[in-house]
Chains A and B, each alone.
Chain A
Amino acid sequence: QKEVEQNSGPLSVPEGAIASLNCTYSDRGSQSFFWYRQYSGKSPELIMFIYSNGDKEDGRFTAQLNKASQYVSLLIRDSQPSDSATYLCAVASGDSNYQLIWGAGTKLIIKP
């Protein structure tokens, strides 16, 4: 069974520090990887996606992908209280280009 694993947290980070969120996946055929943010009681919204090994930066966010280790991470620099949310890792199934396999999410708390 294809799985995506995340530490459920909560991960508590001081304001202004770097938050590091990690995700491992089992499907070696997966080619695209997504980080969604979900505020409490709200629906998920896309933060970043990454397809290639290495780093991808977008503002304060950096996604890192290592396909050999089946590992994807999200770094949030200069963390703000508004970053407090659950971060969901989603991995596209290697068998299809439409099926996303979701982790359970990591709850991030930014302490002022």
Chain B
Amino acid sequence: GAGVSQTPSNKVTEKGKYVELRCDPISGHTALYWYRQSLGQGPEFLIYFQGTGAADDSGLPNDRFFAVRPEGSVSTLKIQRTERGDSAVYLCASSPGPAGNTEAFFGQGTRLTVV
């Protein structure tokens, strides 16, 4: 597609459930980022992929969060045993190189609500 695509756009889940959020980056973009954004805040870094590998996962809040990018394209963010505090908009971004050197293109986000 022409832009970064994220699915679903909205997800409501019960506390304790498992969720998967999908990101389809712009074709050819090797760098992929997951961010989390709460109301009135800037994006909070979660994880950075360069190709297939997680180059930096230092932003993942705890071991309930995990992300993969097995073929260097689509990425999935996985959250186990969801908690109400996980409610936020999860943003995916891709760029042709590291985001400090070039423009990052964002998807429309997945709004996760844990009830």
Contacts and interface: CB of A to CB of B under 8 A. Distances in A.
A92 B91 CA distance: 18
Contact of A100 (B99, B108, B109): B99
Interface residues of B, number: 22
B41 A92 contact: no
B107 A43 contact: yes
B43 A96 contact: no
Interface stretch (B12-20, B48-56, B64-72, B77-85): B48-56
Nearest to B44: A102
Interface residues of A, number: 24
Contact of A98 (B41, B44, B99, B103): B99
B106 A99 contact: no
Interface in B100-115: 100-101, 103-104, 106-109
Interface of A: 4, 8, 31-32, 42-46, 49, 88, 90, 92-93, 96-105
Top 3 A-B pairs, shortest CB-CB distance = A92-B100, A102-B42, A98-B98
